[in-house]
Amino acid sequence: MNEKSKVIVLSCDSYEEERIYTLLKRGLKELGGVGALINKEEKILLKPNLLKKAEVEKAVITHPVVVGAFARILREEGYENIVLADSCGHGTTKQVIQGTGMDTYLEKYQIPAIDYTKGVHVENPDGVQAKEFILPKELLEADCVISLSKMKTHALERITGAVKNSYGFIYGKNKAIGHTKYPSADSFARMLIDLNQYVKPRLYILDGITAMEGNGPGSGDPTVMNVILMSTDPVALDSVFARLVYLKPEMVPTNYHGEKMGLGNCKESNIEVVVVKENSQISVERDDGNEEQKNNKITVAKKQCENADISADENQSDINISCNIIPMEALIEQYGNPHFNVDRTKVRSNIWTKLAKALNIFQKKPYIEPDKCIHCGICVNSCPVPGKAVDFRNGKNHPPVYDYKKCIRCFCCQEMCPKKAIKVK
């Protein structure tokens, strides 16, 4: 892609509904307006990250307020035909959202949460990696898909954001089968690019006010990032995400292959960043202990305020919003987190690493912490490998045991463990 991709960064330090609603509205305006993205007559499917049932504060799923605020915007703009669905890792859409507050928002705005009922085989002859998919009937009936993802780490792909969220388009158990068909980080990433190019989500929104670091995407630790990212280009969005956590974007397979395969832009020179924030936030700076640097930052912030496109939302006149195009370096300085716990290990490619991979040695692998394991068997059920790479080999009174000769390192077991008992080393 030669044209610059625009990534909107909404600066927000809480899940207060009115603030998120107002910032999202302005972010949409910066992308041309919701009317330019979606036609009123279209059937819209909202696709949040609903990996599994979890407390909202654990940052496993897209925050209900983000989903609710976007749903509110659609309803106020006159969009009528809207549903919400995901192919969850464990449980159904209705089961996962129950009691989270997302169900309350959907009821308020009369948006049904639907459980996928049937998988449909579709051909993808233009795919680089995946020539076919099994997709939900209800997804194929939608005219427009909106991706509402969560900012998290991922054991296989390093991070999961806009591109990876689309794996929830695959129907049911075919998600597990996909891990056996595309077992490496690169083949899995190329499949995800093919999938995004087939479904063509119209807009990508990434909830990163509270993100997940460490043992993600299901068992990591919540951490504050105070941003929501928006773009029509998922690769550009994920590249900004990577930069904010001090991870080289090209080290993320979905970014690297996404740019090569034409899904979006990864290079900094091809991305325009627009920061949308409340005016009251402009003078707030980190106290780094250096008075001179602090004063310089405040001066820069004041100049940004003077040059910003400032407006008050028509429905919330007490919330003034400023928009600035800023360099990537400035974005990282203001919003980046160098201590974000994510895998930054460089992947080496030489004869020894290839041999180690062939022999299945010196590879990252999942392991179970026995004191945390409750012997529920979810990891066993999640394993997509025929004959199971993890199983109750010593009986159900003991934790499951891995057969690393069978293990394909898809880390489905680690994703789905409800007790954070499975780690990767």
Range in 105-119, 139-153, 226-240, 309-323 with the lowest mean pLDDT: 309-323
- Exposure on the CB side of residue 66, measured as CA atoms within 13 A: 32
Question: How do residues 160-194 score in pLDDT, each as one tens digit?
Answer: 999 999 999 999 999 999 999 999 999 999 999 99
Q: Is the pLDDT of residue 287 over 50?
A: no
Closest CA to 177 of 401, 410, 363, 376: 410
Q: Share the mean pLDDT of the chain.
A: 91
Question: How do residues 209-238 score in pLDDT, each as one tens digit?
Answer: 999 999 999 999 999 999 999 999 999 999
**Based on the number of CB atoms within 10 Å of its own CB, is 404 exposed (0-12), middle (13-18) or buried (19 or more)?**
middle
Say what the pLDDT of residue 318 is.
64
Q: Is the pLDDT of residue 299 over 90?
A: no
pLDDT, mean of residues 299-317: 44
Say what the pLDDT of residue 363 is.
75
Closest CA to 377 of 54, 61, 90, 51: 90
Count of C-beta atoms within a 10 Å radius of residue 373: 16
Q: How far is CA 321 from the centre of its chain?
A: 25
Number of residues that make up the chain: 425
pLDDT, mean of residues 310-329: 74
Q: Is the pLDDT of residue 386 over 50?
A: yes
Q: Is the pLDDT of residue 282 over 70?
A: no
Which residues on adjacent β-strands are paired with residue 208? Answer: 227
Q: Is the pLDDT of residue 322 over 90?
A: yes
- Exposure on the CB side of residue 352, measured as CA atoms within 13 A: 3
pLDDT, mean of residues 265-283: 86
pLDDT, mean of residues 336-363: 73
Give the pLDDT band of residue 288 (cuts 50, 70, 90): very low
Question: How do residues 5-64 score in pLDDT, each as one tens digit?
Answer: 999 999 999 999 999 999 999 999 999 999 999 999 999 999 999 999 999 999 999 999
Query: Which segments of 92-248 does DSSP mark as H helices, in order?
Result: 93-97, 102-108, 137-141, 162-165, 174-181, 185-199, 234-244
Q: Tokens 């939900």 identify what position?
A: 136
Say what the pLDDT of residue 316 is.
46
| Distance linking the first and last C-alpha atoms of the chain | 36
Say what the pLDDT of residue 291 is.
53
Is 269 in contact with 208 (CB distance < 8 Å)? Answer: no
